[in-house]
Structure 1
Amino acid sequence: MTKLVLAPLLALAAACSAQTAGPKLTAVEATMVRAVDAEKSASLALLERIVDINSGTMNLPGVVAVKDVISPQLEALGFKVRWNPMEAFDKRAGDLVAEHACPAGAGKCGKRLLLIGHMDTVFEPSSSFQKYTIVPGTNGNVATGPGVNDMKGGLVVMLSALKAMKAAGALDMAEITIVLSGDEEAHGEPTDLSRRDMIEAGKRADVALEFENNSRIGGKDMIRISRRSSLSWRIETTGVSGHSSQIFNDHFGYGAIYELTRILDQFRTQLPEHGLTYNVGMVLGGATATVNPTNTGGSATGKSNVIPPTALASGDIRTLSNDQTERTEARMRVIVRDHLPKTGATITFNEGYPAMAETDAAHALVGQLNEVNAALGLAPQEIMDPMLGGAGDIAFVAPYVPAGLVGTGAMGEGAHAEGETVFLDSIPREAKRMALLMYRLSKT
């Protein structure tokens, strides 16, 4: 009787287990996972090697040295690699462009993939933060160093994923273009030249993956599908100078500093809307006001009893979409030209990073990524609020590429600050995610 009762129950349990079991890895995917694990020690050694090369944006030889480490690794994977220097026109290092053609012909290997990254960091040779080290007390799982997270860790994730695809034979039938800029942290201008390689590649791509640092919030791995813009502005105001006892009268008016104050306060009260931030980073004014050549400071002179004839302010704007950028700039211009008596003002906007808005195709791509996570036994990744992130290169190709993911690289903390860290266990995990995702995209 016991056997008769247990048999149906065991069969039912087996059936339920089969129905609830997650998706399985294919043989090719399992090979890629094993290849990433086998490559882990070499990946970490590569990370240390490139972190110890100072590649601050303005250290052009350092950026080139990082390129010289990465180029042969891509060539060994079958990529055709070229270096496009930019120093002649924008005093920046240049772009590393690598192309892996589809052997069946362009567009015949599933989705055409564009991988985006950068080789520079914010840490110039003058920084005291120069070397890769393991953080004590972390059981060897956390490393620190300049750009270790943003984004040399991402470069290692990208290479590890591609090597895993190669080991499994999955790279052979993939069409992939890689563009690694040498000046993401301070791009050259004009951007139609400094980002020409990336934009041209974007026009030929179906999906873009940006290997910038990833994030974990509340214990959950995140992914981004949008980026806010980042551009700078500068206001210069003028006034009639004279004895302070005569300020506000019909001849002398209000002076340059009151005009600048009016503008900034109206920005504060009239511009706010969802997704928009606008910072005032520097203000100078008086009898004279001069900004230094790097736009990072300046000097002013004046006296309390002299009406100031000159003032200036600079800051930035960050938006969720390019439409929001255009709307905000137009409103700022209207505010600026409504002068106080006997004053003048102008505003200029400098080139920056455009916005990358969310798309339905990007949401669908996150769905495919989470199918990969399920196959790997990982929790789904959630879409991160773009207000928590900054600008980046992928926004330059967003108008041309239907879908893109931001933050497919390593995880860590403190990017752009001395003491920046990377979680070393995130590198193989992200490499597995990206290897499987790129493989699946190359089949559809």
Structure 2
Amino acid sequence: MSFLKFSHRLIITLACTLPLTSYAELDENEKQIVKQVEINVPQAIQQIEQAVNINSGSLNIEGVKKVGKLASEQLAAIGFKVEWLDGSAFKRAGHVLATHESRNPSAIKILMIGHLDTVFAKHDDFTTYKQLGANQASGPGVADMKGGNTIIITALKSLQALNLLENVSIKVLLTGDEESSGRPLNLSKKAIVDAAEWADVALGYENGDNNIKTAMAARRGYVGWRLNISAAAAHSSQIFSENVGYGAIYEASRILNSFREQLATQPNLTFNPGLIVGGTNADYDSVNSSATAFGKSNVIAQTVHVAGDLRALSPEQVEKTKKVMQQIVDKNLNGSKAELVFEDGYPPMALTEGNKKLLALYSEASQNLGYNKVVAANPRNAGAADISFAANHVDMALDGLGLMGSGAHTKNEKADLTSLDKNIKKTALLIYRLANLKR
């Protein structure tokens, strides 16, 4: 069966799953938006397939650039000015920045955020798009987040076709390092911060918690941490003695268990030791996230390294947690010494009144289209995302508006294609209404 015939059959199938509605609460322009989106959906599916079939793991520089070129061509075709922001300074491919400037000086400014990269390595065997019946597709990054990028582009394409972008200025930023951020962060995330300082509203097209009934009005921040412990090496028969002490592994155990005892019940807070290595000799390679060690059962461990992350919902919670962790680390067992090092990470995206307002507008658009009410997702149900670098610089921010699915970051990643048409329409309607919002 040809792709066009399959796409036509797919759209008919998807349309049959939608509620019958007269769109009574939509104005005439909004009804035209709905029709225009429906015209554009078959090509949107084709564009998702094209993007998925380009391997673009974060460290596959050429692959990320190819996906960026594809998106750039699609954005340029609808009249956006497109730039490629080179990422060599932070050891990544770079970002796509596309801009549409309204001639109306009071026009609302919207930043739309996606990303070009995936978690899959260059030589992974999971490399192609596959249609799984009418309602699902699989492939690397199909939901996270090449489908989300397509929602952005198709919504804008639909509005542009109807000349409905006249009262809104838009920047689309598709980053090339969301899954593995380039360092230093002040360089790799500079484009997001700069665009956010320009914008009034930020919209993120990650798939959030993969629930079409929710959106991310808040996201937890991410901070990396390292725990380095040293102790006196000696024969195991001398452990616990006054002269030798407890060794590095017992000290690591004390510290990690105290973290759990004192902090595990805090709301929206998690801290995970993801790697631990210890022995007479122990080395941790942070670049490759790997470790080696040598030790014997009759020798007291001299060295331990632990690498972990910390996720919290506010800067205040992050700082309070860091203080408690440091106090625990400082109470060393006899014969040991511990060092706690925090690394740069993602800032939290707080649940602000502006974010709640934007969520309400998005939910209203969904309901006016005959779909479900959209509520705030539990921040613990999704990881960090690029929008966190924008949220503190805009009046309103909302994420999780992309293509729904399951199995992200695994070879079982699937997209729920029934959410494609819906979320394009909801985005297009939201942008149209923000453009005409009295401020």
TM-score, with structure 2 as normaliser: 0.92
In 1, Cα distance between equivalents of 2:223 and 2:286? 19
Give the counterpart of 1:355 among 348, 363, 370. 348
Among 233, 243, 261, which residue is 2:235 paired with? 243
How is 1:33-432 mapped onto 2 (pairs within 5 angstroms)?
33-87=34-88, 89-105=89-105, 108-109=106-107, 111-135=108-132, 138=133, 140-215=134-209, 217=211, 221-272=213-264, 273-292=266-285, 294-432=287-425
Specify the code of the residue in structure 1 equivalent to 2:188.
Answer: S
CA–CA distance in 1 between the matches of 2:185 and 2:348?
A: 14
- Comparing 147-156 with 21-30, which one deviates more in the overlay? 21-30
Deviation by residue 1:270-293 (Cα, 9 ceiling, x = unmatched): 122111111111111111001235
Higher Cα Rg, which structure:
1
**What one-letter code is carried by the residue in structure 2 that aligns with 1:345?**
A
Amino acid in structure 2 at the alignment position of 1:97 = L
Counterpart in 2 of 1:13?
Answer: none
In 1: Cα distance, 2:363 partner to 2:303 partner: 56
Aligned length: 415
String of CA shifts for 1:107-133, please: whole Å, max 9, x gaps. x12x21010110000111122211000
Amino acid at match of 1:315: G
SS at match of 1:103: coil
Partner of 1:4: none
**Structure 1: which amino acid aligns with 2:153?**
L
User: 1:22–1:374: 8 Å Cα contact kept in structure 2?
Assistant: no
- What do the CA deviations read for 1:330-369 (whole angstroms, capped 9, x no partner)? 1111111111112101011111211111011111112111
**Which one-letter code corresponds to 1:100 in the other structure?**
H
In structure 2, what is the equivalent of residue 17 of structure 1?
none
Q: 1:429 Cα shift?
A: 0.9
Q: Structure 2 CA distance, aligned partners of 1:205 and 1:257?
A: 50
The separation in 1 between residues aligned to 2:249 and 2:398, in whole angstroms, is 45
C-alpha contact (below 8 Å) 1:32/1:167 kept by paired residues: no
CA distance in 2, matches of 1:213, 1:79: 25
1:302-342 Cα distance to aligned partner (Å, 9 max, x none): 11111121111111111111211111111111111111112
1:425 Cα deviation after fit: 2.2
Contact 2:363 2:375 (8 Å CA) reproduced: no
Deviation sequence 1:213-246 (CA, Å, 0-9, x none): 15555xx621110111122211111111111222
Contact in 1 for aligned 2:219/2:349 (Cα 8 Å): yes
State which drifts further: 261-270 or 371-380: 371-380
CA distance in 1, matches of 2:62, 2:258: 45
C-alpha contact 1:23 1:374 (8 A) present in aligned 2 = no
Q: Which runs of 5+ in 1 are unaligned?
A: 1-20
Hey, what's the Cα distance between the residues in 2 that align with 1:294 and 1:434? Answer: 38
Deviates more, 1:390-399 or 1:24-33: 24-33
Give the unaligned 5+ runs of structure 2. Answer: 1-21
The alpha carbon displacement at 1:380 in A equals 1.0
Amino acid of the residue matched to residue 260 of structure 1? A
Residue aligned with 1:175, SS: strand
- Whether the aligned pair in 2 keeps the contact of 1:336 and 1:346 (CA below 8 Å) is yes
Q: Secondary structure of 1:115's match?
A: strand
Q: Provide the residue aligned with 2:18 in structure 1.
A: none
RMSD: 1.5
Q: Does the 8 Å contact 2:75/2:82 carry over to 1?
A: yes
| Conservation of the 8 A alpha-carbon contact between 2:209 and 2:382 | no
Structure 1 CA distance for aligned equivalents of residues 123 and 345 of structure 2: 25
What SS is found at the alignment partner of 2:54? coil
One-letter identity of the residue aligned with 2:139: G
8 Å CA contact 1:215, 1:221 repeated in 2: no
Amino acid in the other structure paired with 2:54: I
CA distance in 2, matches of 1:302, 1:419: 38
CA–CA separation in structure 1 for the residues paired with 2:66 and 2:210:
31
Amino acid of the residue matched to residue 266 of structure 1?
A: S
One-letter amino acid of the structure 2 residue matched with residue 238 of structure 1: S
Cα shift readout 1:24-74 (whole Å, capped 9, x = no counterpart)? 222211111111111111111111001000000000100100111111221
* Residue identity in the other structure for 2:238: Q
| Equivalent residue number for residue 16 of structure 1 | none
Structure 1 residue 186, shift from structure 2 partner: 0.7
Match of 2:14 in 1: none
TM-score normalised to structure 1 length: 0.91
Corresponding letter in the other structure for 2:392? P
* In 1: Cα distance, 2:214 partner to 2:114 partner: 18
